[in-house]
Structure 1
């Protein structure tokens, strides 16, 4: 590298130039790596050396920020480790977390940038991930009520905890607890790959307990394919290819009496046809219950097997579907084309 290239590496803090040369500042008596984030020196005060030994022999001391005297020293990695330690030790106490972060001597924004670069998560994302794991552990391994868990993890209200948990898991805390305890009921979960992407199927000897789009198998629950889950996956593949209109695999209803009543009515909707929420409400003798029908649909864990995708808005809009509107539209298209 010539002098111009070296100077450009210094002012740009070019990490790729580290090890190629070192620079020293005459006014401070310190030498650094090109990537050092210390205040930019004046060019007339800078000397460059090919090795750190030459800089030391010339009477310069190693910088305590970039540590050019140490191999593979990464100050940001060290700071990221401190951030991680602070977040983990602060627990759910947000005020304590902020106080501990301030003690590190960097702005909150800079610390979050360092954390993101090192671990792929901002401070808030990392803290939330720890809270989520703590919540999952309590839901799975304790008998604490959900409201007690919420307050123990620093949430100000039960609704805040529900919103937090659902946003990160697509499940309510109660749904997660039920799924996490499923292993005690002999339920196993399996991930199958279909033309619509991964599908999670949960089953026991009684039948299929859950079928959801995406990889939704709960952590810690047995994940083994069984003959009954294989059958469900095979029938689903046939359905997605337009070769099957009805499912023969046995299913297990898990819900309130009203929800089960709604789901059984959904099974009466013919293949390739649609019903509105109002029509379903009228069919079960509850003409003012369209909103409740929508809520029951949202709780359907047996997607496609119980065809909640056939329920649409009164104006024909494809409103609401746990698998996503895109998947709902594709399912309806398959049925229209193969009716």
Structure 2
């Protein structure tokens, strides 16, 4: 097996507060391979953006990786200094498409000047090489090369979107982290953005970490995924496995809360309650208070994340994972809702 591009192993992230600490992420682990598109999905406040920020040293000053390791190409990076990270990793190896991406360009500088500035900080490229590289990328994302000397305000929303993708690719990174990139977009622009991201596979040997609350976007875009709740990885595996056979209660209910074209009249699930505040060290299932199938054990101890039926590619953190298919089926039959995961292989072609 080839070495993973990015490994997040047993990571805890803590925010130090004057009154009490916030344990934002607990024991999170996942891997991303070269040229793999990986989705990290969950509701607002679940810790997915915090986990992504830990990879790029973007945590607030009071946040820290308090346990675990983050490895990039086999090298631990969580303890690199800001200077080391800037010199060796940022933009050149890992780049970011931030939230509200279309507003992240400097409105007072031409796109070409912004590219030159990035290259000056992280490489020894000449200004000419930087601009030529941006022109090449503009062509890849479907923008006229002549527009590299324009200001951001001269671009439409869709063009800004493509310009951001081009800028993120400027220094040939191996991994792009896209944090809620479609949240502020209408459905047409969302579709355009995802098509451009997906199309990059044909042009570049590139991996993607897509952070989103929209599980449908992950199903459409990613090879593998992890579902987070309350700072914990609830379930992880290939997108096909989690789409067709979810085994964590939160994954099942989250999937049922989104529309399904095969069941247009299906009533959507509502996940009642709110995630816990995480003011104390987490030694329990953070979904237990909202779970229809929780037992006393769920409130008292943290379920390990374990492989399903010996399948190392699909792992679940739930004491009742072996029962979830029948429990969920009974629940949905009781309330008269067809199961979104009864796919009959629709939406996925069998690989065999």
Class of the TM-score when normalised by the shorter of the 2 chains = under 0.3
- Name which structure has the greater RCO, CA cutoff 8 Å, separation 6+: 2
Q: Quick check: which one's strand share is greater?
A: 2
Greater CA radius of gyration, 1 or 2? 1
TM-score scaled by length of structure 1: 0.24
Normalising by structure 2, report the TM-score: 0.23
